[in-house]
Chains A and B, each alone.
Chain A
Amino acid sequence: MPTVRLRDAGEYPEPIQKLFEVAKAWFKYDFAQPPAMSRVMAWDPELGAFHGRAMKRAMTPGEFSRAEKEMVAAVVSGVNACAY
């Protein structure tokens, strides 16, 4: 169980809710609630903006495809033994 109460999307200010819509498009999936990580990163929008842009820049297709990069992300998560 998370050590904090994850806020529903509706508890965030309007500009952040728009960012959640962008996240939905990024994942191409209609979440009932934005993923927990999106809501955590939205807690500090100033950090979240930098971090999110760095993540998108890293994940954007280049020499490697988005799918190939998703697999890199998955193995890094696996090696870190991160269940999330």
Chain B
Amino acid sequence: MAGDAPWYEAALLVGVTNALNVVADSPLESLEPASPSAEAQTVFTEIRAFYDRADVPVAFRRVASDPGYLADLWGATRRVFTDNTLTRRHKEALAFAVSVTTRSAFGTAFHLAEMRRLGVGERGVMEVLGVTQMFSSYTKIADTLQLEPDMDHIAEADPSPAPGGPPPPPPTPSPDAP
């Protein structure tokens, strides 16, 4: 996990996962169109293929009355869950951890199913659950005692530029430097 790229990727995944969960877990059944438009159906077909399942996850059905929004939401979701610096299998594990931590009934069940579909066994599921639970403990202990970060210097800062961007300028020497 050296460099910033996997961490950017993970953060974007966390955001999209939470975005799907908040809609799926809210009482918004009435928003699901009874007869989605042809444009929405085209997106649904892509979603079913990506997840290799017959139904469309509820988070997408609830925004289908605006097919343009649905298409963009789906595009963002597909992008963050596709193999990249991180594997899709690992991404589903991260999404599962996020969903358990935020008590998302939809996200927990959905990403648990996806992890299993992608080959994660019961041991692997328990590993992710164990890490999630242990760090849900550490974070609350740290917050209760208001501990300050003291491990952020273990990894060096990544000097690489933004994707496709020019190299960063050289560091400005300190005025105190000889």
Contact = CB atoms under 8 A, between A and B. Distances in A.
Interface of A: 1-4, 6, 27, 29, 33, 35-37, 40-41, 51, 54-55, 57-59, 62-64, 67-80, 82-84
Given A2-B145, A74-B10, A69 B151 contact: no
B123 A62 contact: yes
B140 interface: yes
Contact of A37 (B97, B98, B132, B147): B147
Contacts of A73: 131, 134-135
A59 B131 contact: yes
B158 to A, nearest CB: 15
A38 to B, nearest CB: 10
6 contacts: A2-B147, A51-B137, A74-B10, A75-B94, A82-B140, A84-B142
B120 interface: yes
Interface residues of B, number: 44
A33 to B, nearest CB: 8
A17 B80 CA distance: 44
Given A69-B127, A82-B143, A84-B143, A76 B135 contact: yes
Q: Which 9 residue pairs are nearest across A and B when measured between Cβ atoms?
A: A63-B124, A58-B130, A84-B142, A82-B139, A80-B139, A76-B135, A73-B135, A84-B147, A55-B134
Given A36-B148, A84-B149, A63 B6 contact: no
Given A80-B140, A80-B143, A82-B143, 9 more contacts: A6-B147, A27-B154, A40-B147, A72-B132, A75-B97, A77-B139, A80-B135, A84-B148, A84-B149
B146 A76 contact: no
